[in-house]
Structure 1
Amino acid sequence: MKNSVWKMNVLIILVVAALMVIPLVMIKDSDFGGADGAAEQAVTEMAPEYKPWFKPLFEPPGSETESLLFALQAAFGAGIIGYGIGYYKGRATKRECSDEDSA
Structure 2
Amino acid sequence: MKKSTRIILIITLIVLFIAPLYMNKGAEFGGADGAAEDAITENNPWYEQWFEPIIEPASGEIESMLFASQAAIGAVLIGYYFGFKKGKTHVNN
What TM-score range do you get, normalising by the shorter chain? 0.5 to 0.7
CA-based RMSD of the aligned residues comes to 2.1
Could you list the runs of 4 or more consecutive aligned residues of structure 1 that deviate by over 4 angstroms after TM superposition?
A: none
Q: Counterparts of 1:37 and 1:64 in 2: how far apart (Å)?
A: 15
Q: Identical aligned pairs, as a percentage?
A: 55
Q: Give 1:65 deviation, angstroms.
A: 2.0
Q: Counterparts of 2:88 and 2:75 in 1: how far apart (Å)?
A: 20
Structure 1 window deviating more from structure 2 (76-85 vs 35-44): it is 35-44
Q: Which has the higher contact order (CA 8 A, sep 6+)?
A: 1
* TM-score for the superposition, normalised by structure 1: 0.51
* TM-score for the superposition, normalised by structure 2: 0.55
Q: Verify: 1:85 aligned to 2:90, yes or no.
A: no
User: How many residues align structurally?
Assistant: 65
Q: Counterparts of 1:33 and 1:85 in 2: how far apart (Å)?
A: 32
Q: Counterparts of 1:95 and 1:33 in 2: how far apart (Å)?
A: 47
Q: Counterparts of 2:59 and 2:42 in 1: how far apart (Å)?
A: 23
Q: Verify: 1:73 aligned to 2:70, yes or no.
A: yes
